[in-house]
Amino acid sequence: MISKSLKDQFIQIVSADNYRDSAAEKLVYSYDATPNFQSMPDAVIVPRNAEEVSQIVKLCNENRIPLVPRGSGTNLCAGTCPTEGGIVLLFTQMNQILEIDEENLTVTVQPGVVTLDMIHAVEAKGLFYPPDPSSMKISTIGGNINENSGGLRGLKYGVTRDYVLALEAVLPNGDIIRTGGKLAKDVAGYDLTRLFVGSEGTLCVITEATLKLVPMPETKKTMLALYQDIEAAAKTVSKIISNQIIPTTLEFLDQPTLEVVEDFAKIGLPTDVKAVLLIEQDGPLEVVDRDMKKIQDICLQEQAVSVQVAETEIEAEALRTARRSALSALARLKPTTILEDATVPRSEIAKMVKAINEIAVRHNVKICTFGHAGDGNLHPTVPTDARDHEEMERVEAAFEEIFAAAIDLGGTITGEHGVGVMKAPYLEWKLGAEGIAAMKLVKQAFDPNNIMNPGKVFAKESRKRVVISR
């Protein structure tokens, strides 16, 4: 609860326009893109600069008010659901691109900039920002940084973390610090930049970021390989990598996903095959041509029934857009859509696909699987109905087995979605009790009063892992 006097102090900082606590406003920010999580904040605050953020954080710290920094709420781990109430912090007034530096190949932004807007702005200068989460049309850079977002181009180019050079951050004690710089190399103390990337709003509030850009690839080609054997598709993925070809994109979609996406996007995707791989390579023309030829050969060796290269950029873009719409398309099937992102080493992707299919049968749930196969990062997705408790229990049991299978294959419970509330009970399966204890040391050091996005990452209770005899 926020007292009248505290509310007045917040208004003093940000002005009455930027302090919102109507029922409607609070309802809007009571949930994010994660199904089944909702909790009302006490207020929504829209700061205009780092100084205001610092004052807000200090007040929250003094009064033990939870603070949840939020971009566009597209995350899928309930990471921005205000599960313990308090304040949701919005960055809609801190959404400027501050500088595109063409000499140092960097862009400096405020956290509220929409990812795709920034990508367009740098592309207009002939520069390239690779991380492209599927939500990039509406997600913000601040959200991407807090979640260490991935995307379709992660295989070749890495994830958000690999592009963050410098941060301005407000610590729970109100200190405004700057980490890193426009520097290719910097070892002046601990790497707080990368510690903050992916910290899910639990350590600090990010108020500015300088991101690395790279030269725009000269050309790009897109290919669709069709399979009647789902594991053959998965094996192709490992084989491309072990042949030392690193494509920009190596996406997998199984038949149930294809059907739904085609029904949604209507671009002529094949729906009579068991799986497709969407493969892209970019770079100098000669290299792209050579790699695409080699990849095509590998696909055919691995029993692809057909390999088609997109004829035009329009056709290629349609394929990419269709892939990016997979979640939205699947979400039309049933009232509730639960999407996961267990990730395994690339060599284990065929085993993981097999495990997911066996788990689906065993628990009698429909699992549509798609995702960044080249990263070992699949998105098994269950269209379901949260009101059907019996089915929800089977869905949860299935996902538990998927997490366990990923861990057994040397993988992780989350590749790019974050831990949030959703995965917190499973974190110990990946890290062990000692690993979690080490992370808690960091959390407690920065945020001793636990005001920063409380209830996220660290679970009150870890799930016990049940050993399943298979």
- List the interface residues with a copy of itself, window 221-260 (CB under 8 A): 238, 241-242, 244-246
Pair type for strands 127-128 and 164-170: unpaired
Judged by CB under 8 A, which of 192, 258, 307, 421 binds a copy of itself? 192
Give least dist CB 242 to a copy of itself, A: 5
Q: Is 191 in the site for a copy of itself (CB under 8 A)?
A: yes
By CB under 8 A, tell whether 416 contacts a copy of itself: yes
Answer for which of 2, 13, 90, 155 binds a copy of itself (CB under 8 A) is 155
Name which of 142 and 256 has its Cβ closer to a copy of itself.
142
Q: Binding segment for a copy of itself among 226-234, 304-312, 319-327, 426-434 (CB under 8 A)?
A: 426-434
* Tokens representing residue 358 in the block: 């066996």
Which residues, at least 6 apart from 414, have a Cβ–Cβ distance to it below 8 Å?
Answer: 77, 341, 342, 343, 423
DSSP annotation of 415 reads S
Q: Return the residue of 175, 313, 317, 393 that touches a copy of itself, per CB under 8 A.
A: 175
Q: Are strands 249-254 and 304-309 parallel, antiparallel or unpaired?
A: unpaired
> Among residues 16, 98, 267, 438, which is the contact residue for a copy of itself, using CB under 8 A?
438
> Checking DSSP bridges between strand 377-384 and strand 304-309, what pairing results, if any?
unpaired
Near a copy of itself by CB under 8 A: residue from 4, 17, 24, 215: 215
374 to 151, 304, 331, 382, 404: CA distances (angstroms): 11, 17, 24, 22, 21
Q: How far apart are CA 144 and CA 162, in angstroms?
A: 12
Output the smallest distance, CB 124 to a copy of itself, in A.
14
The whole-angstrom separation of Cα 81 and Cα 83 is: 5
Residues 94-113 that bind a copy of itself (CB under 8 A): 101-105
Please report whether residue 421 would count as binding a copy of itself according to CB under 8 A: no
Contacts (CB under 8 A) with a copy of itself, residues 273-302 = 283-284, 286-287, 290
How many whole angstroms from its chain centre is CA 262? 24
| Residue number, 10 or 129, with CB nearest to a copy of itself | 129
Q: Is 183 in the site for a copy of itself (CB under 8 A)?
A: yes
What is the distance between the alpha carbons of residues 395 and 383, in angstroms, rounded to a whole number?
10
Give the closest residue to 375 by CA, choosing from 261, 246, 282, 253. 246
- Could you tell me which residues come within 8 angstroms of residue 187 by beta carbon, excluding any fewer than 6 positions away? none
DSSP three-state, residue 329:
helix
**Member of 2, 60, 127, 402 binding a copy of itself (CB under 8 A):** 127
Closest by CA to 356, choosing from 390, 381, 337, is 381
* Residue 135 C-beta: closest distance to a copy of itself, Å: 15
Name 212's Cβ contacts closer than 8 Å, sequence gap at least 6: 105, 106, 162, 163, 164, 165
- Residue 130 CB, shortest distance to a copy of itself, in Å, is 13
468 binds a copy of itself (CB under 8 A): no
Q: Which of residues 18-57 bind a copy of itself (CB under 8 A)?
A: none
Instruction: Kindly tell me which residue out of 111, 112, 380, 415 binds a copy of itself, with binding defined by CB under 8 A.
Output: 415
Nearest distance, CB of residue 347 and a copy of itself, angstroms: 4
Q: Does 408 bind a copy of itself (CB under 8 A)?
A: no
